[in-house]
Amino acid sequence: MAEETNRAAQIAEPESYDWPALIDELNSLLRLKTTPIGMKLFRTVAEMEAIPKIRRPKSVHTTDQIVAQAARLGWTVGVTVNDLVSAQCGAVIGLHPQNEEWLSGNRMVGVWYKTPEDASAHQRAMDVVPHGRYTAMAVSPLATGRLNPPDICLIYGTPGQMIIFINGLQWTGYRKFQWGVVGESACADSWGRALKTGEPSLSIPCFAERRYGGVLDDEMLMALAPRYLPKAIEGMKRLAANGLRYPIPQYGIQSDARAGLAVSYGSKD
């Protein structure tokens, strides 16, 4: 945790963000099909409800559905734990206690995991926001600037888009990224981990995210603190200038690779 905190501190928070410009650049570099959104936690419900054009659910939803309403429909939506269908949804974002009942995972036994021990091990492996700090959460398209700024950004994309985005993050201050796969409840791998640590967090969205959150079969999810977005965009611009850009053109599996490698991996001196 100390190592993650030190890494996050190396990238300073800008004084302000030009969200429309940043999202235009991101879309031009990656040709994203899904709207990049932000997520923000609030200490009070009143703070959440003060967000311009905020919508409040009229039905009970999963967090996946709330995220999808921002990413797929362009809505700004706010929730409390009472708007969410299960303890699992609320616990990941810190709105429900991570108590012994939750940690037992007993509702998953025989469904997702064979034994109580397996189910409990899964719950304890999840990255979650500690309970007691926040009472509400909101999501909104980043380009609106309504969360000003969000705690984290959520970007859906294909594996090809994700690797170019990661390459952009690694252009300067290189580091090896290491992520885990918790399996079911993979929102803990993305927004749970990013909210908890502030670090870039890539996930393979799980069954629930795809069934209830509209996540497409070819999509992955990157969650990260806003301060990383300008860094990734600048890195992708520099890579694009070197001919390393999305979409990645197919070279041909039987072609002589030497000419292509000379361009992509040759010296720029």
Confidence (pLDDT) at 252? 87
Confidence (pLDDT) at 5? 46
Confidence (pLDDT) at 23? 98
Confidence (pLDDT) at 2? 38
Cα–Cα distance for residue pair 142/102, rounded to 1 Å: 32
Confidence (pLDDT) at 78? 98
Cα–Cα distance for residue pair 46/66, rounded to 1 Å: 19
Confidence (pLDDT) at 79? 98
- Whether residue 256 lies inside any domain: the answer is no
Which residue in 38, 65, 69, 41 sits closest to 55, CA to CA?
Answer: 69
Length of the chain (residues): 269
User: How many domains is the chain partitioned into structurally?
Assistant: 1
* Digitized pLDDT (tens) for each residue of the chain, 269 residues in all: 334 444 544 688 888 899 999 999 999 999 999 999 999 999 999 999 999 999 999 999 999 999 999 999 999 999 999 999 999 999 999 999 999 999 999 999 999 999 999 999 999 999 999 999 999 999 999 999 999 899 999 999 999 999 999 999 999 999 999 999 999 999 999 999 999 999 999 999 999 999 999 999 999 999 999 999 999 999 999 999 999 999 999 888 889 898 888 888 876 55
Confidence (pLDDT) at 7? 52
The three-state secondary structure class of 153 is: strand
Confidence (pLDDT) at 268? 58
- Whether residue 262 lies inside any domain: the answer is no
Confidence (pLDDT) at 10? 66
- Whether residue 267 lies inside any domain: the answer is no
How far, rounded to the nearest angstrom, does the alpha carbon of residue 193 sit from its chain's CA centroid? 9
Cα–Cα distance for residue pair 212/200, rounded to 1 Å: 24
Strand ranges across the sheet with 77-79: 77-79, 136-141, 37-42, 152-157, 220-224, 201-203
C-alpha distance across the termini of the chain, in Å: 39
- Whether residue 31 lies inside any domain: the answer is yes
- Whether residue 261 lies inside any domain: the answer is no
- Whether residue 84 lies inside any domain: the answer is yes
- Contact 186/99 with Cβ under 8 angstroms? no
- Whether residue 257 lies inside any domain: the answer is no
Beta bridge partners of 39: 139, 152
Q: Which residue's entry shows tokens 């012994």?
A: 100
Beta bridge partners of 43: none
Confidence (pLDDT) at 234? 98
- Whether residue 47 lies inside any domain: the answer is yes
Q: Which domain holds residue 44?
A: 2-248
Confidence (pLDDT) at 215? 98
